Copies of this chain bind each other. A is one copy, B any other.
Amino acid sequence: MSLPHALLTALIERPGSGLELAGRFDRSIGYFWQATHQQIYRELARLEAAGWIEGTAVEGAKGRKRAYRVLPSGRKELARWTVAGQEPMPIRDEVMVRLRAEAVIGPTALADALAKLAAHHRERLEIYRGIEAKGFTPPPDSRAQKLQHLVLKAGIEYERLRAAFCEEAIALMRDED
């Protein structure tokens, strides 16, 4: 359950409204923790009820826009959570389930689905490499920047591994058919 703390982090980086946060969750933070605007609004209400953030109406904006900022107790909560024990996250990988299924009932046309998936991961890989080229060359000096770069590199490795795996599986199924 990291959404509240992902939101706290995002709001410390830059205060903003619910929809602005939803936009950021389609990029940056969203690359490793997705959330819809419905979740975000619900969670912002909870964070405010807990006294961790404060929302103030934005005058002159469309609708009833509210800008949120993190309060000292919110920072404290984020610090507490950050060092709390990290349980290994349960893995739920549909692709592996499909391959195990293929192994017992195959051959099937699974390769087509895997080809699309590989393309998706290669796209993601290019996006991440673009972000790295723009934001992290030359390599950063500050501690915060180095940490963010590390997270990005993990994303790059993940996408590379996934794309390569799909292609290996496709090759294996093609050879055996």
Copies of this chain:
2
Tell me whether A38 is interfacial, beta carbon within 8 Å: no
**Chain B residues with CB under 8 A of A120:** 88
Docked Cα-Cα span, A89 to B34, in Å, equals 10
* Interface-centre pick from A75, A105, A169, A173 (highest chain B CB count, 10 A): A105
Shortest distance in angstroms between A88's beta carbon and chain B's nearest beta carbon?
5
**Chain B residues with CB under 8 A of A32:** 91-93, 96-97
User: 0/1 per residue, A58-93, Cβ < 8 Å to B?
Assistant: 000000000000000001001101111110111111
Docked Cα-Cα span, A146 to B171, in Å, equals 12
**Chain B residues with CB under 8 A of A85:** 113, 116
Interface positions, chain A 80-121, Cβ under 8 Å from B, are: 81-86, 88-110, 112-114, 116-117, 120-121
